[in-house]
Structure 1
Amino acid sequence: MSSPCDPSYARAGDVATAVMVMDSRLKAIYDGKGGSDPEQRRMADDFARSMTAADADALLDGVCTLIYMYMDWLRTVCERHDKEVIEHVVPTLVATMRMMPNTFRPEVIPTMAGLLIASGTGLSPNLWRAQYGDWTRAEMNPLEATAVILAEHINRMVGDDQEFATRLITDALAATDEA
């Protein structure tokens, strides 16, 4: 019996913009600027103001798709080494979230962990989340940060290749375009 949270029922959203936002955040981290670059902040603010509600929904779905794709890739890698993705990835990422109290207030950590677990078990994170109501404003930054720390985890895992997670998605998008 198929689940109503099966990824085949989910909208992919704007994955291209989601990966650009995630990649921009990663580059800021790797450059040592974090979120403190005023030019980067201005461009992000301008971008956010230009978005319609439909654009924002598509971006939110795109971020959830990134989380799903990253957890799917991690699940495949873990299975090759007889490891369980939930056991291997989720505790590390939750520990990272707990060290970032300005981004991850304690009440959003269970939701972000739930997105990782849903994805790790093959469920759509956005459909899983939808069962509990609409996204809240308080969940937006943690959602973005979850995708970023997941990508950064993958980059470290493959030998500190700072662009691996981005290439993983852009290669998948390119393959989809060719099909």
Structure 2
Amino acid sequence: MDAIVEAALKKWPHVPHCYGWLALDARGDWYMRDERTQAAGPFPQVKGSRVTHDKLREFIQRNYAADDRGCWFFQNGPQRVYLELEAAPWIWRVAANVLTHHQVTSHTGLTTDVSASFMDEHDRLFLATPLGMGLVHSMDMLWAAEAVQAGQWDPQPRAFSDLLEDFKVVLQPQP
């Protein structure tokens, strides 16, 4: 967490939490969801405005965490902005060198090892890591398939709802 964020939390410890204004899609893109967007429909059917400003995206990524309930949030100074997740809190990027380096990189730029893999009823590939459970980015399925064929990953069938429960992930946090 950024030092400026920690300082703001100490200065203003009782700022109300925010819900519904930020979301993460299945490709690792952040979306701002103002009142008009929220009224137009639920995420991800109505996504909102994709965050394209590099510094804002980096700030969100540095201050991204989960609470004890399994709800993911962005700590925006003293205010906690809870996210709606399309599929998972992490979107894993798999590189061509996965067979030699055995690691994946999150949508936030963190690199980690894979401890288990799962295939849900929608044929989506999820990976468990020390950071938590996440979805493999759709553009990286070729490299992921190579890891599976090489025996590096052995995806076990698991219902999506069970993955969320097992890894304590809340897709749409509520106050």
TM-score (norm 1): 0.25
Ranked by relative contact order (alpha carbons within 8 Å, sequence separation 6 or more), the top structure is 1
